[in-house]
Amino acid sequence: MQLYNTLSAKERAALIEEAGKDRLTLSFYQYAKIENPQEFRDHLFLTWNALDVLGRIYVATEGINGQLSLPADQFEAFKNHLDTIEFLKGIRLNIAVEQDNMSFLKLKVKVRNKIVADGLNDETFDVRNKGVHLSAKEFNEMLENPNTVCVDMRNHYESEIGHFDGAVTPDVDTFRESLDIIEEDLKEYKDEKNLLMYCTGGIRCEKASAYYKHKGFKNVYQLEGGIIEYTRQINAEGLENKFIGKNFVFDERRAEKISEDVIAQCHQCGTPFDVHTNCANDACHLLFIQCDACKEEMNNCCSSTCQEIHALPFEEQKALRKGQANSNDIFKKGRADHLPYKKDLRNIFENFNTSES
């Protein structure tokens, strides 16, 4: 009985090409009590592997978080399977704005302690006691309310290429960092301000809204379905689009275009650009923004040092990496000191607090 992926990404890509079928990329999440995550995980893998599902799915005692792709002709079968699971029956599936048959190349279903890493050891709040969900229309209206502070619950490298107009964009590398920072900077407004949050698909806001309600915030709201569902609704209903730039996604596509605005810049030369890449030096693999001209000049590397290493024969590169812990830059997500046009650190609530004083 096969319970794990056995094909490489290259082998899977070849099979997708050979099949010649259109695939759908989608995501969903649900907070729920799962008594035996490992047993549930194995059941999902066996069922979804048979449907040619590929993606990254996390299962924990607190619920499930899935980002995946599947053949379009298997979509109904996939939905029917979800409906056999009580807490997933009728769940909203966030269909990607832009499709790509190669968005995922492996099926990974993993058991985790939590479906969203939050760094919290506080079990006294109920993650299901969430904030008020808002549609795209309601979200736009609340954005216009002067009594609202809108907070982007994503990381800096996500908001750098796209965010809602006027939103506070925390300079954080992880979700867990943002929770305490936002609470501290908005503690004076717990009773009076509308705390309006958004993220990619809604899962981070769901947990954050419950956490901030637990911490005493009175008026907590979140964008239902995140940026993905917002985009679907504004297109379907002809609403004003208040999101500028691209929506960062965690698959091979890297981002979806929501508006024509380019609000970021190449981290190496400063040219307006908003496409992330990973440094071609496998010992670095830094995620950063690199324009086409710099990509060509630097051979897809983030520095001249990495460029020199990447030019070496593979076996020499492998020998240099052996026994060394040189991969820390990957977690900096564009923070590396040698990038002259990386996003500047700042007090994320500086402008908001100044306007209130």
Q: What pLDDT digit, counting tens, does each position of 20-59 carry? A: 999 999 999 999 999 999 999 999 999 999 999 999 999 9
Q: What is the pLDDT of residues 246-268, one digit of tens each?
A: 999 988 888 999 999 999 999 99
CB atoms within 10 A of CB 147: 10
The DSSP letter of residue 129 is S
Average pLDDT, the chain: 90
Return d(Cα 178, Cα 182) in angstroms, integer.
6
For residue 247, being part of any structural domain is answered with no
Residue 121 confidence (pLDDT) above 80: no
Q: What is the pLDDT of residues 142-181, one digit of tens each?
A: 999 999 999 999 999 999 999 999 999 988 888 888 898 8
| Same domain, yes or no: 165 and 83 | no
Task: Give the CATH number for residue 172.
Answer: 3.40.250.10
Last residue of a domain, one of 111, 144, 179: 111
Give the tokens for residue 138.
């309601």
The structural domain count of the chain equals 3
Confidence of residue 271 (pLDDT cuts 50, 70, 90): very high
Give the tokens for residue 4.
């794990």
Burial 96-105 (b: 16+ CB within 10 A, else e): bbebbbbbbb
Collect all residues with Cβ–Cβ distance below 8 Å to 308 and sequence separation of at least 6.
none
**pTM summary value:** 0.84
For residue 48, being part of any structural domain is answered with yes
Q: How many CA atoms lie within 13 A of 128 on its CB side?
A: 7
| Same domain, yes or no: 87 and 144 | no
Collect all residues with Cβ–Cβ distance below 8 Å to 357 and sequence separation of at least 6.
none
Predicted local distance difference test score (pLDDT) of residue 334: 58
Give the residue numbers spanning the domain of 317: 276-332
- Tell me which of 199, 205, 284, 306 is the catalytic residue: 199
* 199 catalytic per annotation: yes
For residue 67, being part of any structural domain is answered with yes
Task: Give the CATH number for residue 22.
Answer: 3.30.70.100
